Amino acid sequence: MKKCVDILTRSCGYHYVNYDYDEERDCEVAGCDSICRCSKITATRITSINSFAIANDVMELLDSEDPSLRDVIENYIKNKVSESDFDIAVSGGYYGDEIDYVKMNHSKAVEILEFALSVRNKSTSDLVQQALLLHHGYVLNQHENINVEQKKISYKELISKALMTNKFADINKVKRFDIPDQCSGLILEENNGRYKIIDGNHRFQALLNIIDRNIKNKYILYDQKDLNSFLKRNVRRLKKTIEVRFITRKNEEQDSLEELKKMVLNLQKQIDELRKAIHK
């Protein structure tokens, strides 16, 4: 745990956060030459937190690529990590004051890692539900009792069947996804032969941008004509595949089976703890 905490609390610069500061200077009084050497930083502040980058590092520490686990961890970070959880240190340099380092607080790093460890062994269905709860603050009734199936489908199938939207995406949220692998893990629900995007609209938009650089970070698939044009322009690229998650409703028999599995896991955990106690 200590090694993992040390990694999360290393100097993160602009990797985990964006920051800014106020400064004062009076070169005439200080006698600076053509280069200012008298600046004094009077205030510092965190302007934004990159939960995406923090979650990526936590997933590497867990040695996991599970998109459902990643969603839970990132949404937890969005909800629980604030500007006050980072320390900014200032020190004097040859050109006046400088930002020495920006680090996450030790206690916050421990909290994130403990949470990640507590959810890492949950089922995919439970992780998806928890991610939706953390992201939206509630879970719709139709998503309270679900199965989740992970599978790969072609870009063409995804884009052809995704329900179109006429709203613009937040460009800053779209730009953070710059390679296809980062766009995987969309949560989809079949709806009359089409795919409704339950979670991952920005990743879907980013994938469109990566496939076709001409669409300028906005949704353009307003109608069938736009869609046909997009598919025609990108025939080769659309043969690639992407991993997605489909959710379906459970039935009562499946519910009973899930409960039985949980009971067995809990019993096994108790047996393991008892064995450890005996060996001590």
Q: Is 146 exposed, middle or buried (0-12, 13-18, 19+ CB in 10 A)?
A: buried
Q: pLDDT band at residue 200, thresholds of 50, 70 and 90?
A: confident
Q: Under 8 Å CB-to-CB from 232, ≥6 apart: which residues? A: none
Q: What integer is the mean pLDDT of 41-59?
A: 92
Give 142's pLDDT tier (boundaries 50, 70, 90): confident
pLDDT at 185 over 90: no
Range from 1-5, 141-145, 154-158 carrying the lowest mean pLDDT: 1-5
Question: Measuring CA to CA, which residue among 86, 87, 151 is closest to residue 112?
Answer: 86
| CA-based nearest residue to 245, from 149, 154, 161, 181 | 149
Q: How confident is the model at residue 7 (pLDDT cuts 50, 70, 90)?
A: confident
Residue 186: per-residue pLDDT:
85
- Answer with the residue of higher pLDDT: 259 or 85: 85
Query: So what's the pLDDT on residue 177?
Result: 76
Q: Among 30-44, 75-89, 128-142, 213-227, which stretch is predicted with the lowest mean pLDDT? A: 213-227
pLDDT of residue 215: 65
Question: What pLDDT is stored for residue 220 in this prediction?
Answer: 54
Q: What percent of the chain has pLDDT over 90?
A: 38
Distance CA 151, CA 245 (A): 6
Q: How confident is the model at residue 111 (pLDDT cuts 50, 70, 90)?
A: very high
Residue 253 above 60 pLDDT?
Answer: no
Domain boundary assignment for the chain: 2-119, 144-249
Q: What is the pLDDT of residue 49?
A: 92
Asked whether the predicted pLDDT for residue 241 surpasses 70, the reply is: yes
Confidence of residue 167 (pLDDT cuts 50, 70, 90): low
Tell me the Ramachandran region of residue 193: left when phi exceeds 0, alpha when psi lies from -120 to 50, beta otherwise. left
Q: Is the pTM of this model over 0.85?
A: no
Res. 65: pLDDT tops 80: yes
What is the percent of the chain where pLDDT is above 70? Answer: 89
Rounded CA-CA distance 248/149 in Å is: 8
Do the beta carbons of residue 59 and residue 127 sit within 8 Å?
A: no
The number of angstroms, rounded, from the C-alpha of 183 to the middle of its chain's C-alpha atoms is 11
Centroid of chain to Cα 64:
14
Above 80 in pLDDT, residue 276? no
Express each pLDDT in 17-32 by its tens digit: 999 999 999 998 989 9
Choose between 41 and 215: higher pLDDT: 41
Cα dihedral: 54, 59, 65, 71 (round 10): -50
